[in-house]
Structures are given as C-alpha cells and as structure tokens.
Structure 1
Amino acid sequence: MRDFSKKYGIENYFEVGRGGVCHQLMIEKGFVAPGRLIVGADSHTCSYGALGAFSTGIGSTEAAAVMAIGKLWLKVPDSIKISVKGNLDNYVYGKDIILHVIGDIGVEGALYQSMEYYGDTIERLTLSDRISISNMAIEAGGKAGIIPPDEKVFDYLKGRVKGNYTPVYSDNDAYYIKELNYDAKDIPPTVAKPFLPSNTAPASEVDVEIDQAYLGSCTNGRIEDLRIGAEILKGKKINPNVRMIVVPATKEVFDQALREGLIDIFEKADCFVCGPTCGACLGGYMGILADGERCVATTNRNFIGRMGHKNSEVYLANPAVVTASAIEGRIVDPREVL
C-alpha cells in the first residue's frame, strides 16, 4: 500500500504510528459528513451512518471500479424505522441498543435495508454510542444504519471536516417497510452469545467464566469507551485468571487516553494496552483465542473461529460489561457488582 500510494500520488495514506482502525480514522480525519455517499471495502463501512452519511461496504472488485471511474451501481434499499424512547439504565449504551435490536429481528432481519434510528433516546446518545449502533447494521443484514445528523454531529465536524456538506433527512411522509418501537427501560446490559450476534441475552443471565476481556475495535475503541473501562478499573485489578487487552482505535484516541491518565489506570490494573489494530477482532494477532478459550469483547462478530481457534467462544458486550467481567472472572451485569 505504501508503494501504491507513492506511485499514484495518493496523499491520504496513513502509515503505522499515524493512523489506526480505518472506520474511526475516516471519521476523525473529516472524510465523513452528513449527506455523503461513502463506500468502502469493509462491511463495517456502515459506521458512518452515525453522522448522517449513506455508507455501505462493497467488495474488492467494486472498490477497484470506484477508484478507477468514481461510479457504482446501487439498488435503492427499503427502509426500516427504529424508534427508541425513554431513559437508558446505568451501564446501558448504544452497543446494548443495537444488540437488543439484532436479537429481536435476527441477522437477516434488515437484509439489504436501510436501518434508520429515531427517538429521544437516540438523540441523547453520544456520537460514540451512535457509531456503535450504525457500525453493527451489517450484523442484521442491513445495507446502512443511519441516524439523522444534529448539533452533536455538526459541532464535532467544526474545524475537522474536509469540504462542504449538505445534511439529508427523510421526508415527513417517508414510507417504511417496517417500523420497530422500543422502550429504553426494557434494554438491559446485553450480551450476544456464540455463535451469532442475534443470540442475545441479558448479561445477568450469561454467567460464564472467561479467559480474555477485549476492549477496543471499530465498534467500541473510542475515547468514551476507554473512559468507561478506566472508571470501573480505577484502583482495582483484573481477575488473575483473565487477561484484558485494551486497544485504542486510533493514535488520536491513544494519545488522548495517555493525556487523561487512562493508560496508567489500565496498566496498574494489569491490563495489556497496545497500539491501534484490528488484530484480534478478526482472529489475526494480539489476542487470538486458543482451543476452548472464552472471550468477552466489545467487538461486533462472534462467529465460529472469529477470534481464533474454532473451539473458542466470543461473547459480544459493551465496555462496562467487558471491564466488570474482567474483574470478576466471569460475564456479569455491571449493575450487580459495581
């Protein structure tokens, strides 16, 4: 990639030590903005819907065509309207909302459909939590996961965004193929058990021993996620039978965590902190699982062999569940132990 970038004069190449996980980097560097159509050769490109973009993953062949001619054929998807209203309980975040929805509709419940999120609960979420929701649209089969952009998005983009943008919103009389309504008080800290993101249960009902806790990824590797983990870990140690790996999504996130003293908290709690990488999430390195090992992770997929050995198990959860479980040595509901 380095040679390719040099050969063709591509300026936006981010060498190791200057970048990080692509989906977080795209947002930080101002490439993402409301009203834009963005495609990428990774299925979690749908993350950018949190800023009001229509973004979706494509294959390598399509990516080559886009880079060569700047054009792509897309079938316009049907839309699902998802409304969440009310106040979330303590230790319940955007990750729980999307796991709850996927648990309800299944991994094909939004197949090639645009998932649009509304309601006062969504409006109160941080941008980080919204990204977690949009990030996992593909886990329901969705083509995109879009949240209408508001002042939180506009404020974030000030001084950051590249170029101009024009927000796009659904018409007041827009047609939806399906409408789903949820009460926030009915959403607990949620865990997706092996081997599908739809195999969900309240964290309080899982209660399995773990070997590894993983805090990071394009789903939950932002500074807000690290703050949640550090707040829980401060003055504590992780369980001696557990290894906890903390992976800031980008250099910017890592540097900010360093400035805020979060890295020091993780180190003193016996966590292993590494630089930005997608490594363990896709079973590559830096935390892959051995035969029979179990991991609770803030990642987005828990298929057979996803993070290592085919006999290992991955449980998906929010940063608070992951961190509290690392302390206890088993998957727990943070509300019951903190």
Structure 2
Amino acid sequence: MNIIEKILKSHSVDNLKSVSPGDIVTVSVDRAIIVDMAALHPEFVNNPPIKPFDPDKIAIIFDHFVPPPNIEIANRVNKLRKLAKIWGLKDFYDVGRGGISHVFSGESGWILPGSIIANTDSHTVATGAFNAIGRGLGTPEMMGIIATGKTWFIAGETVNVRFINGLKKGASAKDVFFKMAEIIGDIPNMNIEFSGTGIKTLNMDERSSISTMCAELSAEFAVFPFDDILKEYLEGIGIKNYNPVYPDNDAEYYKTYEIDLDNVEPMVALPDKIINNVRPVTELGKVEINLAVVGSCANGRLSDLRDVSEVLKNKKINKNVRLIVTPASMKVYEEAIRLGYIDNIIKAGGMVTNPTCGACLGGHMGVSSDGDVVISSTTRNFKGRMGSPKSRIYLGSARTVALSAVNGYITGDENE
C-alpha cells in the first residue's frame, strides 16, 4: 500500500486489512476544523449538531471574512461565536487570534503525520505537507463529522511525483506547482504522493505551498513522505508523539512523473484557469499590471514575505500599481515585523493587511475592479474569483508578484 492507502486503513472503523483503489472507507477523523464561511450556510448555523463527538478535536477559526466586510456577515459570524461557547470549544480563534486555517493548524501542531483532517475549506489538501491527509468538505458532511467523529472516502488511484535536484535561485515552490499543472493536468478523484531526492531540498513552507495548490489539479490528497525536515519542524513546535507513515516497498501507483527542480523557472498561470494555461514568464511578453497581491494559504507564509521584502528593499512600487500583502497568520505577521519584512514592504509603498483569505476569494482586502490586470500569489484565477469578472488575474509566486509590482509589468527576472 502507498501512504494514503495506509492512512485510510489505519483509521478505518471496520478494521480493514488493506485498502485499494475503489474501496469505500469509513474513517475516524483526528481533527475537524470549521472556518467562518460556514456562517453563510443556514443549515449549519441554524440547526447545528447539539453535541460534538469530542470538543477537544474541533476548532473554529475565523479566516475568510476577517474582519467582517459588512453587517450581514458580521451578524452571521456571531452565531459561530455563540456555537463555540455552546459546544465548549477551547480551540476557537476569533479576529486577530489565529490566521488562515491551513497555516494556523500547522503552526498549532494539529496536523500530525498519519492523521486525517476534515475542514470546511477546499484547500485542506494542504495537510499533505505533514505526511497526513485532509479534505475540504461541505457543511452537511461536516455536521455529520461533528456529531459522530467519522466520515468516508473513496480510495482513488495515486500518481507518484518524483522530484530530483533542487531549485535554482529565483524559482519557487509555486513554480514547481505550475510545472506540475503543465505536465500532469487535471486528475479528479485521484491522489498525489511525492518522492525523490529533491524533496530534501524543499522546506516546510515550500512543501505546504505545493500540497495546497494540488487542490487546483482536482487531487483528493497530495502527500509528502516523512523525513528529517518534517521531524525537525515538529520538534521545533514541541511535537514528539506521532505515527509517521511510509509507503510499502511494493506500493503501486497509477503513473509516475519525474520533475527536475533544477529545470524549473519562474512561471505564471494566464487568466481564467490554471490547467493547460501556464507559461514561463520569459515567454509572456510585456503584460502591464495595476494590482499586485501577495497572500493566501499557499503563499502568505514567512518565506513568501521574505522574498517580497528582499525584492522591495530600498525600492518603490511602480506608480501605476497597488500592492497588497497579506500574512497568512498572526505568527507569520509578528515574525515578519520582527525581521523587518513589513517595514520594507511599507516603505516601498505596499499595504499590509491582517491575516485573512479576503483578497483570494474576492471578499474584501483587495477586491479587483473592472479592467484591472492582476498578478497574485493566491490560489485561483477563474473569472470573477478576486472581484470583478471584468478583471484579468495572472497567478505567480510571491517573488514574481513583488518584481512585477516594482516594474509595473509581469516579470520574474530581478535584472529587468
């Protein structure tokens, strides 16, 4: 069995002896995470489960509408505050106390190797960076999990993505994902398992960025192996007890892809979709922009803000560009302040917001207008995703966004 099949087997409530593609597996859930978007679903907030299966395994995190952009949402999220009290949750993180759920949950030590995470957000595949599996689930399914602690998955086929060598200066984990989108394409109902010597060159931020973005390939799960880099990260946040999962020597994969990280260059996704729609920046031509956004669960991490800070130090944003930078968590924000990253961004003419998903989903804190040409490190670029359907959204790494903000057009080359 591969890693994903072994995790499903270990959590099977039926004590299955093995798991193979096509099996329907009912599993116990290690952690259920509810984000503030659930407040928009009346079936959840008006008729929630009376009693959670285990209050210590449930968290509510405000991240999408932080702070609420209008009266209606402000009133709706109040119902989640009341629900947290009724359920007796110790893990309730209101405005200014947490961050984007996928980032904050990793910082908090909730995602352990071998675990299964349920979350109401679609990018929960991010858990794979921690040698765990997780899925974004709709509110009706999450209500069942809160009541029972169980859910079910269909075990899908798994493709193996083997990384070799390491990234060159200027290339990023986001560019690795774009290369995956180029060669793998859309794989609905399938999983990804990473392997290869190149993995040891990727830190936890980079792994998290890649696994998060695999939601855009329609992958169910996208899992990294356990290794010394993950072990060191967990020890650094005080976590020592967990059960890492390794693939069997005879694990079977639907297909294997090899990506030489040394050949990865800065890339962008062109407007309206990602699959079969990515290009190296060098082939793009001169695309002028007027809105640049750095943030999201994929690329609002400390290393992303470091890259932005390094590009912007002692420089100014182009006069025709608005730059909005959103740290992914309060911990990231505080550390970026301490290291001087925020100061460099502000002095260059950028605006730094509180941690939120706001700009990524077109909710607030960076909504695009008619005619805007956007370069963003966020996760999706379908028409209207970040605001106006009449805006055009290019996706790139945080570094590419920062370079573009300085030059006024999309570029991945510091020397342009």
TM-score > 0.5, shorter chain as reference: yes
Q: Which residue of 1 aligns with 2:148?
A: 69
Matches within 5 A, 1:26-37: 26-37=105-116
> SS of 1:84's equivalent?
strand
The Cα shift of 1:119 comes to: 1.8
Give the letter aligned to residue 286 of structure 1: M
Between 1:129-138 and 1:55-64, the stretch displaced more is 55-64
> SS of 1:282's equivalent?
coil
Q: Which residue of 2 aligns with 1:171?
A: 248
Confirm or deny that 1:315 pairs with 2:416.
Answer: no
Give the letter aligned to residue 221 of structure 1: G
Structure 2: stretches of 5+ with no match in the other structure:
1-79
Matches within 5 A, 1:192-271: 192-198=269-275, 199-206=277-284, 207-271=286-350
Structure 2 CA distance for partners of 1:163 and 1:182, relative to 1, 3 Å: closer
Matches within 5 A, 1:1-338: 1-106=80-185, 108=186, 110-158=187-235, 160=237, 164-198=241-275, 199-206=277-284, 207-337=286-416
> SS of 2:140's equivalent?
helix
CA distance in 2, matches of 1:172, 1:194: 42
The Cα shift of 1:162 comes to: 6.4
Contact 1:116-1:146 at 8 Å conserved across structures: yes
- Following TM superposition, the consecutive aligned residue runs of length 4 or more in structure 1 with deviations greater than 6 angstroms are none
| 1:101-156 deviation digits (Å, cap 9, x = unpaired) | 112222x2x21111111222222111100000000111111001111021111111
CA distance in 2, matches of 1:213, 1:306: 15
| 1:284-337 deviation digits (Å, cap 9, x = unpaired) | 011110011011111111001000111111111111111100000000122542
Contact 2:159-2:253 at 8 Å conserved across structures: yes
CA distance in 2, matches of 1:38, 1:161: 20
Larger Rg: 2
Q: Number of matched residues?
A: 335
Give the letter aligned to residue 122 of structure 1: I
Contact 2:234-2:240 at 8 Å conserved across structures: no
> SS of 2:385's equivalent?
coil
> Identity over the aligned pairs, expressed in percent?
39
Between 1:246-255 and 1:82-91, the stretch displaced more is 82-91
Give the letter aligned to residue 92 of structure 1: A
Structure 2 CA distance for partners of 1:84 and 1:335, relative to 1, 3 Å: farther
Give the letter aligned to residue 183 of structure 1: D
TM-score after normalising by structure 2: 0.79
Contact 1:52-1:148 at 8 Å conserved across structures: yes
Give the letter aligned to residue 267 of structure 2: T
Give the letter aligned to residue 153 of structure 1: L
The Cα shift of 1:245 comes to: 0.5
TM-score after normalising by structure 1: 0.96
| 1:225-278 deviation digits (Å, cap 9, x = unpaired) | 100110111000010000100100111010001111111101100000111011
Contact 2:166-2:201 at 8 Å conserved across structures: no
CA distance in 1, matches of 2:188, 2:225: 21
CA distance in 2, matches of 1:261, 1:319: 17
Give the letter aligned to residue 224 of structure 1: S
Contact 1:48-1:55 at 8 Å conserved across structures: yes
The Cα shift of 1:215 comes to: 0.9
